[in-house]
Amino acid sequence: MTLRRSLAIAALAVAPALAQAQAARLRVPYTIDTLPNGLTLIVHEDHSVPIVTTNVWFHVGSGDEKPGRTGFAHLFEHLMFMGSQNAPYPQFDRLLEAAGANNNGSTTEDRTNYFEEGPSSSLRLMLWLEADRMGWLLPTMDKPKVDLQRDVVKNERRQSYENQPYGLVADVLPHLMYPPSHPYSWPVIGSMADLSAASVDDVKDFFRQYYAPNNATLVVAGDVHPDSVRAIVREYFTEIPRGPSITRPAPPAFTVKDTAVTLEDRVQLPRLYLNWHTAKSTHADSPALQLAGYVLAGARTSRLTQALVYSGELATAVQAYNDAKRLDGDFSIVATARPGKGLDTLQAVIDRQLERLAAEGPTPRELEQARNVIEAQFLRSIQTVGGKADQLNEYYYQTGQPDGFQDDLDKLRAVTAADVQRVVRLYLQAPRVMVSVVPQGKQALAATLKKVTQ
């Protein structure tokens, strides 16, 4: 397990505060219970402010979809706000807003989450609304609702992919990085064709399979008492029937082949994407890969940032990060060229810096800076009850233990320079997928395929 994926592109300096944080063991107390229908309830009690949050993780993401039926998990991120039997649209939003609360949701390859946060007096309302859509959404599901949200999702796709500069990369990269049988081989948002082809029965079947209490974890955190929360949850969720058992096949083993693809887009500057297959989030190498990303491009003084952006003046920006997911992971370096610069030039500089890091490893200062910044970012992400609730859910899903905070920090702190050097050699001097995005009609600016030697 690595510190949250979103922290991979961190850039803050915080050494003084960190010394104190390192002195104390980080612990987030919780209680955990399971209802007879399989719903897991985790409660974290924190009376520092009169705020409460509810955070439901349905263990379903785009990785649970089938080829030809993609985009369903994200579609449900929208449909779950379209009203249920006892809270018809738009009561979900209106009731929470009237109580001073807010809500939202998100979808990844591995899970979909729904969360509310507001004054502690709104807890009963939050739980009632969550229970109603978990148990009584289907009776209200009809074609007009599906068509409406299908169009919303399609428009979101146009905004984020087809009409977003460089957005096409997110559409093609999953297909290039993973074999067709792998659950990460299509984008989370799905394809236009699959969204168009989805029938109301398809959508309902997907809900029956995955949106049941035995495939969900509910975290309640904040100004609450666990006994009271358990009583309310039993009152509202007990009647919801258990869903079918879910068997997820293991993804096939595979290796990435050296690949070069060029996309013409309506952009002003060419951009290079280099991508390697790495390891899943719970793999022992994930913390070292996260640190490698920071050493390469996490700060103004980082190796690629200096070589490409400041000293070399070849690029306007560069990023490097490891995206470790539940089943697999990938590492990316993304660099945007300055006007008049070709991507072959950027590729050569990146390769030289990777060779240096593989040969020498990070310096003690680089390693300490990377550790401190990533740790500080992690601590900031859990300073709210909402952040703690989401992280409790993630640890429970990934490892079966909600309080993995200190273990994660220990793994990060234990990474050595030799670990970083080793993962760079193992993962980043291996075959990769390279995507060049160039302005229309300027294929000559694209990077050319070069074999990478270990």
The yes-or-no verdict on residue 19 having pLDDT over 80 is no
The yes-or-no verdict on residue 320 having pLDDT over 70 is yes
Separation between Cα atoms, residue 403 and residue 99, nearest integer Å: 30
pLDDT class for 166, splitting at 50, 70, 90? very high
**pLDDT, tens digit, for every residue of 188-197?**
999 999 999 9
The yes-or-no verdict on residue 96 having pLDDT over 50 is yes
Separation between Cα atoms, residue 215 and residue 245, nearest integer Å: 9
Question: Which ranges in 59-191 belong to alpha helices (H)?
Answer: 72-79, 91-98, 123-135, 143-157, 168-177
The yes-or-no verdict on residue 249 having pLDDT over 90 is no
pLDDT class for 449, splitting at 50, 70, 90? confident
Mean pLDDT, residues 278-291: 97
The tokens describing 257, both together, are 């082949």
The tokens describing 328, both together, are 């697999």
The yes-or-no verdict on residue 226 having pLDDT over 80 is yes
Residue given tokens 């297909």 in the structure block: 175
Kindly report the number of other CB atoms within 10 A of residue 414's CB atom. 12
Separation between Cα atoms, residue 376 and residue 356, nearest integer Å: 27
**pLDDT, tens digit, for every residue of 369-416?**
999 999 999 999 999 999 999 999 999 999 999 999 999 999 999 999
**pLDDT, tens digit, for every residue of 23-33?**
578 999 999 99
The tokens describing 200, both together, are 């109301």
pLDDT value of residue 44? 98
Sign of CA pseudo-dihedral 183, 109, 438, 11:
negative
Mean pLDDT, residues 433-441: 97
pLDDT class for 248, splitting at 50, 70, 90? confident
Mean pLDDT, residues 98-110: 97
The tokens describing 388, both together, are 């703690």
End-to-end alpha-carbon separation of the chain, Å?
27
Phi, psi of 415 (to 5 degrees): -65, 135
Cβ pair 149, 78 in contact under 8 A: yes
Peptide bond into 90 cis (omega under 30): yes
The tokens describing 177, both together, are 């990085």
> In percent, how much of the chain has pLDDT > 70?
94
Residue given tokens 């890091």 in the structure block: 357
Amino acid at site 202: D
pLDDT value of residue 21? 47
Kindly report the number of other CB atoms within 10 A of residue 99's CB atom. 17
Cβ pair 140, 85 in contact under 8 A: yes
Say if residue 454 is exposed, middle or buried (CB neighbours under 10 Å; 0-12, 13-18, 19+): exposed
Separation between Cα atoms, residue 14 and residue 16, nearest integer Å: 6
Tell me the DSSP string of 104-116: EEEE-SS-EEEEE
Distances (CA, A) of 1 to 240, 296, 339: 32, 21, 40
Amino acid at site 321: Y
Angle ∠(32,36,37) on CA atoms, nearest 5: 100
> Average pLDDT, whole number, for the chain?
93
Mean pLDDT, residues 230-246: 97
Choice among 12-26, 199-213, 414-428 with the minimum mean pLDDT:
12-26
**pLDDT, tens digit, for every residue of 253-269?**
999 999 999 999 999 99
**pLDDT, tens digit, for every residue of 151-165?**
999 999 999 999 999
The yes-or-no verdict on residue 11 having pLDDT over 80 is no
Residue given tokens 């697999």 in the structure block: 328
> In percent, how much of the chain has pLDDT > 90?
92
Mean pLDDT, residues 98-113: 97
The tokens describing 37, both together, are 């229908």
Separation between Cα atoms, residue 394 and residue 403, nearest integer Å: 10
Residue 336: DSSP 8-state: E
pTM: 0.92
pLDDT class for 12, splitting at 50, 70, 90? very low
CA 201 to mean position of chain CA atoms: 29
Separation between Cα atoms, residue 281 and residue 240, nearest integer Å: 32
Strand partners, 117: 53, 102
**pLDDT, tens digit, for every residue of 33-83?**
999 999 999 999 999 999 999 999 999 999 999 999 999 999 999 999 999
The yes-or-no verdict on residue 16 having pLDDT over 80 is no
